[in-house]
């Protein structure tokens, strides 16, 4: 009888430790991937295939399947603390953002560039002027799937990072 009273709290604690560790790992690797991709975005500046390079950096660093990546928004913030416009987060690209899904992480480079899928906020229009460079932001939303499903199926994680564009080779 005593064993039965102890087993449920112990199993719950064990599952909480497993899920908590997995969530922490996902959160840390996800945050690092977004930070790395915004650094890549800053360096590639206004290269015609800038968004392709950004997505490649993100895809290399994310430890998630493409189907777990809900939305990627590459946007032009007006200040370093600004997030993406709500219409962009909802999935509608505009003159200040390009919106991608996890499937776009595996797209061919030929679909990017002048007249490509990144034409809403054309990478070549981004200012790398030393006195007043544009800021570039990356918003990423991913699905964290729970291992045990003891505490639910999963939930979404979101991360935003912003940096100024640098004068590079472009």
pLDDT tens figures, 11-33: 899 999 999 999 999 999 999 99
Task: Please check whether residue 19 lies inside any domain of the structure.
Answer: yes
Q: How far apart are CA 92 and CA 75, in angstroms?
A: 12
> Do the domain assignments include residue 112?
yes
User: In this structure, is residue 170 part of a structural domain?
Assistant: no
Residue 131 placed within a domain: yes
DSSP symbols for 109-124: GGGSSTTSTT-TT-GG
Given a contact cutoff of 8 angstroms between Cβ atoms, the answer to whether 47 and 170 are in contact is yes
**Range 44-63 average pLDDT:** 93
Q: How many separate domains does the chain show?
A: 1
> Is 98 within 8 Å of 118 (Cβ atoms)?
yes
Q: Alpha-carbon distance 71 to 78, whole Å?
A: 21
Is 169 among the domain residues? no
* 150, 19 Cβ separation under 8 angstroms: yes
Residue 124 lies in a domain: yes
pLDDT confidence of residue 170: 44
pLDDT of residue 2: 83
pLDDT at 8 over 70: yes
Nearest to 21 by CA among 161, 170, 151, 158: 151
Residue 36 domain boundaries: 2-164
CA separation for the pair 119, 112 (Å, rounded): 8
CA 168 to chain centroid: 23
d(CA 80, CA 160): 10
The answer to the question of residue 90 being in a domain is yes
Segment 64-108, tens digit of pLDDT: 888 999 999 999 999 999 999 999 999 999 999 999 999 999 999
Adjacent-strand bridge partners of 143? 156
Mean pLDDT in the chain?
91
* 113 located within any domain: yes
């Amino acid at each position: 009888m005593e064993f039965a009273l102890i087993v449920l709290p112990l199993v719950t604690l064990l599952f909480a430790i497993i899920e908590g560790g997995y969530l922490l790992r996902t959160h840390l690797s996800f945050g690092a991937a977004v930070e790395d991709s915004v650094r890549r975005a800053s360096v590639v500046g206004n290269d015609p295939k800038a968004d392709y390079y950004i997505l490649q950096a993100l895809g290399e660093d994310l430890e998630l399947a493409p189907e777990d990546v809900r939305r990627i928004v590459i946007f032009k913030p007006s200040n370093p603390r600004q997030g993406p416009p709500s219409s962009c987060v909802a999935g509608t690209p505009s003159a200040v953002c390009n919106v991608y899904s996890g499937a776009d992480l595996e797209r061919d480079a030929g679909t990017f560039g002048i007249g490509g899928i990144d034409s809403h906020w054309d990478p070549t229009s981004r200012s790398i002027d030393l006195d007043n460079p544009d800021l570039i932001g990356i918003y990423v939303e991913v699905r964290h799937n729970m291992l045990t499903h003891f505490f639910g199926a999963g939930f979404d994680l979101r991360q935003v990072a912003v940096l100024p564009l640098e004068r590079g080779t472009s």
